[in-house]
Amino acid sequence: MGFGDLKSAAGLRVLNDFLADKSYIEGYVPSQADIAVFEAIGAPPPAELYHALRWYNHIKSYEKQKASLPGVKKALGKYGPADVEDTTGAATDSKDDDDIDLFGSDDEEESEEAKKLREERLAQYESKKSKKPAVVAKSSILLDVKPWDDETDMAKLEECVRSIQADGLVWGSSKLVPVGYGIKKLQIQCVVEDDKVGTDMLEERITAFEDYVQSMDVAAFNKI
């Protein structure tokens, strides 16, 4: 659990994504959880990370009251997405001044390992995000298809309409509706994927059956 390294661009991106649908790090009011993460960042996130920047500026307004905010500060690794490890300050937290290795060896190797692990976790997190299925926008359309006269073969007219096939187009129920003087129009339902099928395309292809079809109108159009 964590945000990765909050001093890095990758860690700030994880925080920004985490706050996309949240106002606070925990719960519905500002708390010590927000203060802990705020202090770990130390500076405003860049403008393009607008969720994180919005949150940062909001928490900054509580700076004078931060000691009175509810909750108890926990380690940074206790906050954030469950599948990202906190590594903020990983290379420096365990060192004190008396133990500095001027030649660098074990600590540097551990730092490299921590960095590699962080990058792997962040890559896994980004991969999971990218694999979320995209929402397909669909619409339900009711069409009125009018014949030339009362002698038009309506069964053949409907057969022609249903013969139109396209990716993202599914025909539904239909009925004949009287319009006067013995003439009936075909009222037919279809469901379309908005990015693939439009009413202009349907009108062009339906009215192409000019031996049967006089015109086509959209009687109802609803987003699904």
Q: Give which of 126, 90, 114, 133 is closest to 13, Cα–Cα.
A: 126
pLDDT in tens, 157-183: 999 999 999 999 999 999 999 999 999
Look at 78 and 184; give whichever has higher pLDDT: 184
Q: What pLDDT is attached to residue 109? A: 53
Q: How confident is the model at residue 93 (pLDDT cuts 50, 70, 90)?
A: very low
User: What does the H/E/C string look like for 141-185?
Assistant: EEEEEEECCCCCCHHHHHHHHHCCCCCCEEEEEEEEEEEECCEEE
Look at 169 and 15; give whichever has higher pLDDT: 169
Least confident range from 36-50, 93-107, 143-157: namely: 93-107
Q: How confident is the model at residue 10 (pLDDT cuts 50, 70, 90)?
A: confident
Instruction: For the chain, give every domain's residue range.
Output: 9-78, 138-223
pLDDT in tens, 24-46: 988 888 999 989 999 988 899 99
Inform me whether the pLDDT recorded for 91 exceeds 80. no
Q: What pLDDT is attached to residue 111? A: 72
Q: What pLDDT is attached to residue 88? A: 56
Query: Average pLDDT of 82-92?
Result: 55
Q: Which CATH number fits domain 138-223: 3.40.50.2000, 3.40.50.300, 3.30.70.60, 2.30.31.70?
A: 3.30.70.60
pTM as predicted: 0.43
Phi first, then psi, for residue 173 (nearest 5°) are -75, 165
Inform me whether the pLDDT recorded for 199 exceeds 50. yes
Per-residue tokens: 46: 């860049």
